[in-house]
Structure 1
Amino acid sequence: MLSISIGPLSLPTAVLVLLASVAIGLLVARVLTRRGDASTTDPLLLVFFGALLFGRLVFVIRFADSYDSVWQMLDFRDRGIDTGATVLAALALLVVQLKRFAQLQRAMVAGVVTAAACFALGSGLLHSQHQQQQLADIRLETLSGYQVALPQLAQGKPVVLNLWASWCPPCHREMPALLEAEQQNPNVSFMLVNLQENRDTVQQYLRQHQLAFDNVLLDYRGDVASYYGAQGVPATLFFSADGKLADTHFGELSHAILQQGITKAGG
């Protein structure tokens, strides 16, 4: 499942797993803190968020060519983070905090270990679901009016499958990045799957914004979104050449996240 709907909001499952893990870790640390000792919340939040910021910095450095401005580098909405750098930074910050707050060592270690275990378990479950998923054998209609199956359209190439709608502002903002990536990666099959809009609306939108994608497909019933558990748009799935799901991203794409997904898919 790519996302979970909470009222009018659709949130990425990976982010929810992270937030839940941190909350459980903080709770465990608080329970184990002895009465009269200082709070463990502030030092642990410094560990968690400091590590995330360092992981973001390393990710931005790795994909610096994909960012057009400093503002884009600071824009955390694409959730681009280097996992290895984040883990190393968390360990380093934890060591510093353990030295600063010797009386809280037991509680802080328990909190971090609990958060890490919960996140590893949740991420592992999500990853196992992804490994079992393939490029679905779903037939959709093209703008020309004929039916085509997704694996047939892939032609044995890595696939970038983007779910979008014309009324969705984040979808509109990421379209230039998708179009540029399609032009720069002829060895990758890009599929722009419109969610539950009619052909005239889609064609008018593409003409108005001068977007000429090779493969625009109409998912009138939302079959693709339902199959992969996308509770909103935009959502992007990356498949390797053998049809296996390699990576997913729920929410607006940046050039860097798009390039990372293509790389994971073998493009």
Structure 2
Amino acid sequence: MNAVAIGPLAFSADRLSVITGLIVFMAVGSLLAARVDNRLGTWTTSAALSGIVGARVMHVLTHAESFLQDPWQVLAIWQGGFSSAGGFIGVLLVTVMLWRKAPPAAPWTIMPLAAGLFAWVAATTLTDGSAAPRAPETSHAVLAQGETISIADRKGRPAVLNLWASWCPPCRREMPMMAEMAGSNPQVDFLFANQGEGREAIATYLRQAGVDLETILLDPFADLSRHYGALGLPATLFINPDGTLSASHLGEISREALAERLAALSPQDRTQTE
């Protein structure tokens, strides 16, 4: 999966690209504020904040039904969930205001915008990983049934593979939602692969948490994390019926992001799961 580790922190490639673009945008804006017009510094800050808020608001409105079930999730920005269209509208509004109040300074806004866009594209290109690995042929023991499952051998069904551990707070937060989504999407195999813990520790945690998961794989040596290049937990991988990796998500995943990934199955994949 496309992810980058910086010291103890791990970022998904797309988030790191956006952060890089924002940093360059702010830096160029600050430089122009010192050299050209100090109002450009205020514009840069306002544009960044307006873009972020606009991107989040548009995302929330697009998935209003999901957020109405749990309104507090609107504040869970660490899960991701931003609309590029909303971000563009937010930046545009602040830029129009600058054009009206300070026409001489307005043309200089092109430089920070262009620099930020270039940095975002460059970071996206540099962090774009190699071909995604296919599902591993090795088998993993199942916690409850006393059997083994090979992720590569699932009778042509798509799968969601969640890598988790009981000591991981984001894993614990997302698990009830993941269990609910697994129950409402029987056409997809949801596989919860515990990373590095023993059978007794896993069973104790699930019993205390009151979470009911159908298929829990034991991966005591975190082989799946190494296979897919997951730099942190939780990590959620979306696997096509042929075993190829369709998409991945590093960190806590939201209900709407999970629903979007499930809906993105190709028509051929849907036919195979009916």
TM-score range (shorter-chain normalised) is: 0.7 to 0.9
Q: Which residue of 1 aligns with 2:115?
A: 114
Report the AA paired with residue 237 of structure 2.
L
Instruction: Say if 2:162 and 2:235, in contact at 8 Å, map to a contact too.
Output: yes
Report the Cα distance in structure 1 between the residues aligned to 2:34 and 2:211, rounded to whole angstroms. 61
Shift of 1:196: 1.0
Report the Cα distance in structure 2 between the residues aligned to 1:247 and 1:99, rounded to whole angstroms. 43
Alpha-carbon displacement from aligned partner over 1:32-74 (angstroms, at most 9, x marks no partner)? 5573621533312222221221121121122222222332223
Instruction: Say if 1:241 and 1:265, in contact at 8 Å, map to a contact too.
Output: no
Q: Which residue of 1 aligns with 2:221?
A: 221
Q: Structure 1 residues 184 and 24 mapped into 2: Cα distance closer, same or farther (>3 Å)?
A: same
Report the Cα distance in structure 1 between the residues aligned to 2:258 and 2:114, rounded to whole angstroms. 32
Q: Which residue of 2 aligns with 1:14?
A: 14
Q: Which residue of 1 aligns with 2:24?
A: 24
SS of match in other structure, 1:260: helix
Report the Cα distance in structure 1 between the residues aligned to 2:218 and 2:58, rounded to whole angstroms. 38
Quote the sequence identity (%). 28
Report the Cα distance in structure 2 between the residues aligned to 1:158 and 1:101, rounded to whole angstroms. 55
Shift of 1:10: 3.2
Shift of 1:151: 1.9
Q: Structure 1 residues 134 and 10 mapped into 2: Cα distance closer, same or farther (>3 Å)?
A: closer
Instruction: Say if 1:238 and 1:265, in contact at 8 Å, map to a contact too.
Output: no
Q: Which residue of 1 aligns with 2:135?
A: 136
Q: Structure 1 residues 107 and 58 mapped into 2: Cα distance closer, same or farther (>3 Å)?
A: same
Q: Which residue of 1 aligns with 2:55?
A: 55
Alpha-carbon displacement from aligned partner over 1:66-89 (angstroms, at most 9, x marks no partner)? 222332223212111122332344
Report the Cα distance in structure 2 between the residues aligned to 1:84 and 1:246, rounded to whole angstroms. 24
Alpha-carbon displacement from aligned partner over 1:178-224 (angstroms, at most 9, x marks no partner)? 11101100111111111111122112222333333232112222222
Instruction: Say if 2:164 and 2:195, in contact at 8 Å, map to a contact too.
Output: yes
Shift of 1:124: 4.5
Report the Cα distance in structure 1 between the residues aligned to 2:82 and 2:248, rounded to whole angstroms. 14
TM-score by length of 1: 0.85
Report the Cα distance in structure 1 between the residues aligned to 2:122 and 2:116, rounded to whole angstroms. 10
Instruction: Map residues 122-201 of structure 1 onto 2, 5 A cutoff.
Output: 122-126=123-127, 128-129=128-129, 132-139=131-138, 140-143=140-143, 144-153=145-154, 155-201=155-201
Structure 1 unaligned spans of 5+: none
- The runs of at least 4 consecutive aligned structure 1 residues that moved more than 6 Å come to none
Report the Cα distance in structure 2 between the residues aligned to 1:86 and 1:65, rounded to whole angstroms. 21
Report the Cα distance in structure 2 between the residues aligned to 1:59 and 1:235, rounded to whole angstroms. 22
Is residue 2:71 matched to residue 1:70? yes
Number of residues of Structure 1 aligned to a counterpart in Structure 2: 264
SS of match in other structure, 1:152: coil
Q: Which residue of 2 aligns with 1:42?
A: 42
Report the Cα distance in structure 2 between the residues aligned to 1:178 and 1:61, rounded to whole angstroms. 22
Shift of 1:162: 0.9
Q: Which residue of 1 aligns with 2:234?
A: 234
Q: Structure 1 residues 244 and 54 mapped into 2: Cα distance closer, same or farther (>3 Å)?
A: farther
Report the Cα distance in structure 1 between the residues aligned to 2:27 and 2:203, rounded to whole angstroms. 52
CA RMSD of superposed structures (Å): 2.6
Report the Cα distance in structure 1 between the residues aligned to 2:46 and 2:243, rounded to whole angstroms. 41
Structure 2 unaligned spans of 5+: none
Q: Structure 1 residues 103 and 227 mapped into 2: Cα distance closer, same or farther (>3 Å)?
A: farther
